Copies of this chain bind each other. A is one copy, B any other.
Amino acid sequence: MAENRSRYAILGALTVEPMSGYDIRKFFAQSVSYFWVESYGQIYPMLKSLHGDGLIGPLPKGGSSRRTVYEITQSGRQVLASWLAEPAESQPGRNEILLKLFFAREGSPGAAVALLAQFRQRQEELAATYAGIAERITVEYASNPNLPNWLLTLSYGSHVSRALLQWCEEAERTLPSRRATPKVKRSPRRRRPH
């Protein structure tokens, strides 16, 4: 039931155009890296597996090249489409900053503040990145019918980063007021609370 999402990611990439494993890596790195990553360790074995299942097929190589370029097959498209029709699984996953914040009282007084400052900076960079990518692809892929969808994923990113910057401000406003609160001394060893 785990559903190997790399399968579909690679299948999806090959709908954009036929690609080699190397190309696929680059495609992900240059387009969706802010929400999806694939490593060679996944890609090459998966290409074999997809080929074995008849979902993709290698194009004849030009004699001069070592590249093996794959295209998606009809059944590959069907498999992809039926995956797209399934509801997406939720996957909030783990959030390290929140974990640190959750236990921040155990750290030094300035730790939480530093954490937030650094987090805010990353969000600012991210927001700028989204805007940059959006601008670039709007020109570069002006005629690509996928463009509107691609822009939607970027919009998702900027909505989130904007919200998080707001949250940072809020947090930074409420944090210092609490720094004075004294940390409790280690209490005398308690018996297990039943």
- In the complex the two chains form, what is the Cα distance from A105 to B164 in whole Å? 30
What's the Cα separation between A47 and B31 when bound, in Å?
Answer: 41
CB-nearest residue of chain B to A17 = B193
Q: A84-B111, A171-B155 in contact; A77/B106 too (CB < 8 A)?
A: yes
Question: Whole-angstrom distance between the alpha carbons of A32 and B59 in the complex?
Answer: 49
| Interface SS, A side | helix
Q: Which residues of B contact A148 (CB under 8 A)?
A: 174, 178
Size bin of chain A's contact surface: 35 or more
* Residues of chain B within 8 A of A107, CB atoms compared: 80-81, 84-85
Most central of A74, A83, A100, A194 by chain B CB within 10 Å: A100
Can you name 14 A-B pairs with beta carbons within 8 Å?
Answer: A12-B103, A15-B103, A17-B193, A18-B190, A35-B93, A35-B95, A37-B94, A62-B194, A65-B192, A67-B192, A69-B192, A80-B106, A83-B100, A103-B146
